[in-house]
Structure 1
Amino acid sequence: MTEFPPPADQPDPAVPAKRGAFTRFLDGVEWLGNLLPHPVTLFALLALGIVLLSGLFGALGVAVVDPRPQGAPGVAEDGMIRAVSLMNGDGLRRIFTGLVDNFTSFAPLGVVLVAMLGVGVAEKSGLLSAAVRSMVLGAPPKLVTVAIVFAGIISNTASEVGYVVLIPLGGAIYYALGRHPLAGMAAAFAGVSGGYSANLLIGTIDPLLAGITQEAAQLIDPDYRVLATANWYFMVASTFLITAIGSLVSIYIVEPQLGKYDASKADPDILDDEMMKPLDASERKGLRWAGIAMLGVFALMALTLWPEWGVFRNPETGDRMDSPFFDGFVVWILIFFVVLGYAYGRAARTMKSDRDVIDAMAGALSSLGLYIVLVFFAAQFVAFFGWTNLGGITAVTGAQFLVDTGMTGPAVFFLFILLCAIINLSLGSASAQWAVTAPIFVPMLMLIGYSPEAIQAAYRIGDSTTNIITPMMSYFGLILAWATRYQKDLGVGTLIAMMLPYSMFFLAAWSVFFYLWTFILGLPVGPGSPTYYEG
């Protein structure tokens, strides 16, 4: 690789740059985040901590008044919620015999495995990569920023394709257009990660979070169900909000701050990648057949739900929302991606037989090894939290605090979203963070009258908006590596500072939008998803 001398107007890299207060703050965030153990270790420690804490609270006889009606499912005869110790014979036997069931019955596990079978086919066939390239490379030059942000949001249906394909593609496109490549990467990163909870489609994260929310809600209402489509309406509307804000921040704040690009800082081989290559004839043919297949799947979905005789309507009431169609929506995700992926693969000749489909599914599941390990320990933590009644005690105590301080109105969600955003700085995984916080906040906010679906939607805002400024986000290092191809001396602080305007505007605008959507306009966040809980 050819080395270019630094321009005369650039500071000598051998001389340490002066570190401002904000940079020192970012260093502090990174240092604190690095103190946390691996998420698997964290859940193991949390599960152990619950066991020890239950022994202490059980010995002290900690109890609170159960706010649910007397005689309701799960309510004790004396109307109290008492701490149950796992630090005795009965508790240890329950842990030993329930360990496997806790794991296999953990709601998010099965739905994610099933969804990934389909996504694996679509990704292996090349459909996802071709679709993203088609969307971005085919956009008019004046709308390229909008196309990049929008494509980033849509890529969240299968998040890896956004991180691996779209973010470096954004930099390459800007470079080719004579614009600052880091601005293109920033726009893509903002869409893929900052807009993680906005989408037109239901992705793998939706059934995962819905399962965790359902587990938490059942601490208060054992029969409560949360659908994978719980936030779909709000997600669709948020797609256009985040696209608009991300594009405006890119064009009017980030790109001007970066200034004119100095090409001498770049790797001269950065444009040799396949990602800038236009779609060839086979890929275009594959996309056409995938589009036909998509229409076929949508037609099949409509036939099973819309007519009076629709087989997936509620067989007792005929209802479309409370129906097998949405209860089993993860199966539609599987069918959608398998059919589209195979149609594309056959037309583009990237898949020739059923063996290719099977290999794609196996490859998708083989990449989930770490996730499955994490789920094992997360499932124990959630189960122990429920067994010990510490979740219920925490929720009642917290809800009473909110009542005593008068913080029961809709404005409480601004504080909740901000808190989730701060927690996300140190615990970057959406599922890991929600598995820890949902058993506390979902019951707490349910007790003051808000539905689990609305609570989950609010959580997703806080979780998404700070993804782009935390080194704890799993793909942050990969993005930093891509960025250094355009600016060899780029550091973590520079990347975070570049993304901070997106985070600030997303957090403020999205929070206000949530408030307007749910409490001013009174719109549901998803199909069959009320704003208020009336248990």
Structure 2
Amino acid sequence: MTQAPTPRRTAVDRFLGIVEYAGNLLPHPATLFFLLTLAVVVASAIAAQFDLSVAHPKTGELVTPVNLLSVDGLQRIMASLVTNFTGFAPLGTVLVALIGIGVAEHSGLIGACLRIVVLNAPRFLLTPIVVFAGVMSNMASEIGYVLLVPLAGLLYVAAGRHPILGIAAAFAGVSGGYSANLLLGTIDPLLSGLSQEAARIVDPTYSVNAAANLFFMQASTPLITLLGWFVTEKIVARRFPDGDYGRGDEKIEGLSAAEKRGLAYAGIATVALTVLVLLATVPANGALRLAGETDTLKSLAPFLNGIVALIFVAGALVGIAYGVGAGTIKSDADVVNGMSKSMGTLASYLVLVFFAAQFVALFNWTQLGLIFAVEGAETLKAIGLPKIPLLLCFILLTAMVNLAMGSASAKWALMAPVFIPMFMLLGYSPEVTQTAYRIGDSVTNIISPMMSYFALVIAFLQRYEPKAGIGTVVATMVPYSIVFLIGWAALFSVWILMGWPLGLDAPLSYPAVPSAAG
């Protein structure tokens, strides 16, 4: 039997092979944080031995490294192992938010909403609606990957278009537009919690709320939708022409009478909840406002502090309303099962958080974060790179790191304790740094083999193109990645130059601090 010739490897395939090989050399993120924690302990001893020190940027007091490779250090590590984990800021916020979202997902509400959006899309608006639905799906964690991406392929077949084109458009919205949305999702309290932990290395009282990037996210939603539409129709569609790609088993079920009734119930619950929130926030004596506070933004502190609780209540209440109407929730046991199911998906996350929490806590104890931040800030000041180019370089750095480390939370847990304090000492707020990070993290998701759902997308493609592999996905998605990076960076630059707030109670600058050298 004649052996089939080996396909010639292109430059893209070779590059992807290097990226995949390098990424595979990295240990599991939990193991990585464990190793980094050990490295921090050793580094603290070395720094203490060399007597490294800087002047605190706010108080002027001398900051020296704390040696954790000592009897006192060992006792502190052992005594705080549990509280480091339970007190880790992002942990509780994510768990609470996901419990509520779990009810909405388990009841079928989120799936029904996605289906009704894409099924009612006119053919000429099919692509922007699919991209938009992908962006919005991120408010419910990763449901867009497992529901919308394959659904888009079927939808494009029904419309006489290439299914891979639909999969690409949906994937671009879900993954490439991960940091755009009109509403808050589970990723927002997670990242803001990590940012707050990092900011407190410099300022122990600093607070970063979950809506810190909301305005920029909302403005990014139409931008990503339009850019995704343009790339799909003007670039990617050239490789995947229209035609009859049906195999006889492609069928998208319309909404049943019970599902329509469920959506009506959910709509009523949404309106009622919205009215209650408005009554609690708009009047000066509202329940979610500070009495006697004249500054509008400051008076809304109770509302801002309760964003996570609001996500929980909205997800649970609207999800229950849908389930009652659709018949998917018949008792309180069904509600609890939905909550439990969402918790079941977090097993690996909890393990990761345990080790990440130890790393962050020990890194903060050693004072190395502040020392590195002061020295790094002084170096950047000496270089004299202007604000916009500096932040754009940080976006590019994040995008490159994302090729080898796909987890958004793991990367930020690693990067935030270094870059947020450093940029704070340069006068940039944690909210600005977090926004720049989210842009870089999003735009290369769709070409990163290390992204957790990358293999699943390959499987969806192979349904229609059996020979599809990593190279197929990357070749298809690279135009989105490039265009999203350029467009998003441009929006971010204009936003910073105009001085617009990134979100609720989210300043662009951090109060000026004196030079550590002076």
TM over 0.5: yes
- Residue 306 (str. 1) matches residue 282 (str. 2): yes
Distance change >3 Å, CA 159–CA 269, structure 1 → 2:
farther
Note if contact 1:402-1:408 (Cα within 8 Å) is conserved in structure 2: no
- Residue 283 (str. 1) matches residue 255 (str. 2): no
Aligned-partner Cα distance in 2 for 1:14–1:159:
43
Displacement, 1:117?
0.7
Equivalent residue for 2:27, pick from 28, 37, 46: 37
Q: Who is 1:166 aligned against? A: 148
Where do residues 360-509 of structure 1 align in structure 2 (5 Å cutoff)? Answer: 360-509=338-487
Note if contact 1:124-1:360 (Cα within 8 Å) is conserved in structure 2: yes
The one-letter code of the counterpart of 2:262 is: G
Aligned-partner Cα distance in 1 for 2:248–2:414:
44
Of 122-131 and 365-374, more deviation after overlay is shown by 365-374
Of 182-191 and 53-62, more deviation after overlay is shown by 53-62
Note if contact 2:176-2:444 (Cα within 8 Å) is conserved in structure 1: yes
Note if contact 1:61-1:82 (Cα within 8 Å) is conserved in structure 2: yes
Where do residues 32-111 of structure 1 align in structure 2 (5 Å cutoff)? Answer: 32-70=22-60, 79-111=61-93
Note if contact 1:313-1:319 (Cα within 8 Å) is conserved in structure 2: no
Secondary structure of the residue aligned to 1:420 is helix
Secondary structure of the residue aligned to 2:358 is helix
Where do residues 312-391 of structure 1 align in structure 2 (5 Å cutoff)? Answer: 312-315=288-291, 317=293, 319-322=295-298, 323-391=301-369
Distance change >3 Å, CA 400–CA 340, structure 1 → 2:
same
Note if contact 2:284-2:291 (Cα within 8 Å) is conserved in structure 1: no
The one-letter code of the counterpart of 1:324 is: P
The one-letter code of the counterpart of 1:108 is: P
Of 352-361 and 252-261, more deviation after overlay is shown by 252-261
- Residue 529 (str. 1) matches residue 506 (str. 2): yes
Secondary structure of the residue aligned to 1:410 is helix
- Residue 271 (str. 1) matches residue 250 (str. 2): yes
Displacement, 1:81?
1.8
Q: Who is 2:219 aligned against? A: 237
Aligned-partner Cα distance in 1 for 2:211–2:289:
16
Q: Who is 1:73 aligned against? A: none
Note if contact 1:305-1:320 (Cα within 8 Å) is conserved in structure 2: no
Distance change >3 Å, CA 388–CA 270, structure 1 → 2:
farther
Aligned-partner Cα distance in 2 for 1:58–1:271:
65
Displacement, 1:180?
1.0
Displacement, 1:159?
2.6
Aligned-partner Cα distance in 1 for 2:384–2:203:
24
Distance change >3 Å, CA 494–CA 324, structure 1 → 2:
same
TM-score (norm 1): 0.93
Superposed CA offset, 1:328-371 (max 9, x none): 11000001011110010000000011111111111111211111
Superposed CA offset, 1:449-498 (max 9, x none): 01111111111000000110011111111111111001011011111111
Q: Who is 2:106 aligned against? A: 124
Aligned-partner Cα distance in 2 for 1:284–1:59:
69
The one-letter code of the counterpart of 2:500 is: L
Note if contact 1:229-1:326 (Cα within 8 Å) is conserved in structure 2: yes
The one-letter code of the counterpart of 2:39 is: G
Equivalent residue for 1:204, pick from 186, 189, 200: 186
Aligned-partner Cα distance in 1 for 2:351–2:4:
44
Note if contact 1:270-1:485 (Cα within 8 Å) is conserved in structure 2: no
Number of positions where the alignment pairs a residue of Structure 1 with one of Structure 2: 509
Aligned-partner Cα distance in 1 for 2:244–2:322:
40
Aligned-partner Cα distance in 1 for 2:317–2:403:
38
Q: Who is 2:5 aligned against? A: 15
Displacement, 1:269?
6.2
Q: Who is 1:177 aligned against? A: 159
Aligned-partner Cα distance in 2 for 1:450–1:229:
18
Aligned-partner Cα distance in 2 for 1:261–1:81:
68
Note if contact 2:160-2:244 (Cα within 8 Å) is conserved in structure 1: no
Of 366-375 and 403-412, more deviation after overlay is shown by 403-412
Note if contact 1:180-1:258 (Cα within 8 Å) is conserved in structure 2: yes
Distance change >3 Å, CA 269–CA 49, structure 1 → 2:
farther
Note if contact 2:320-2:335 (Cα within 8 Å) is conserved in structure 1: yes
Aligned-partner Cα distance in 1 for 2:82–2:52:
29
Aligned-partner Cα distance in 1 for 2:509–2:476:
38
Displacement, 1:270?
5.1
Q: Who is 2:515 aligned against? A: none
Displacement, 1:54?
0.8
Displacement, 1:89?
0.6
- Residue 153 (str. 1) matches residue 153 (str. 2): no
Secondary structure of the residue aligned to 1:258 is coil
Displacement, 1:295?
0.9
Aligned-partner Cα distance in 1 for 2:269–2:305:
23
Note if contact 1:290-1:343 (Cα within 8 Å) is conserved in structure 2: yes
Displacement, 1:320?
4.6
The one-letter code of the counterpart of 2:33 is: F
Note if contact 2:137-2:174 (Cα within 8 Å) is conserved in structure 1: yes
The one-letter code of the counterpart of 1:135 is: V
The one-letter code of the counterpart of 1:424 is: N
Displacement, 1:143?
0.3
Note if contact 2:161-2:241 (Cα within 8 Å) is conserved in structure 1: no
Note if contact 1:51-1:384 (Cα within 8 Å) is conserved in structure 2: yes
Displacement, 1:524?
0.5
The one-letter code of the counterpart of 2:289 is: R
Secondary structure of the residue aligned to 2:141 is helix
Aligned-partner Cα distance in 2 for 1:497–1:356:
43
Aligned-partner Cα distance in 1 for 2:249–2:12:
31
Displacement, 1:261?
6.0
The one-letter code of the counterpart of 1:143 is: L
TM-score (norm 2): 0.96
Aligned-partner Cα distance in 2 for 1:319–1:278:
49
Aligned-partner Cα distance in 1 for 2:5–2:308:
55
The one-letter code of the counterpart of 2:501 is: P
Note if contact 2:161-2:244 (Cα within 8 Å) is conserved in structure 1: no
The one-letter code of the counterpart of 1:436 is: L
**Aligned-CA RMSD value:** 1.5
Aligned-partner Cα distance in 2 for 1:233–1:14:
55
Q: Which runs of 5+ in 2 are unaligned?
A: 513-518
Displacement, 1:314?
2.1
Superposed CA offset, 1:219-270 (max 9, x none): 000000000000000000000000000011001101112345684xx8x465
Aligned-partner Cα distance in 2 for 1:209–1:106:
12
Displacement, 1:160?
2.2
Note if contact 1:27-1:493 (Cα within 8 Å) is conserved in structure 2: no
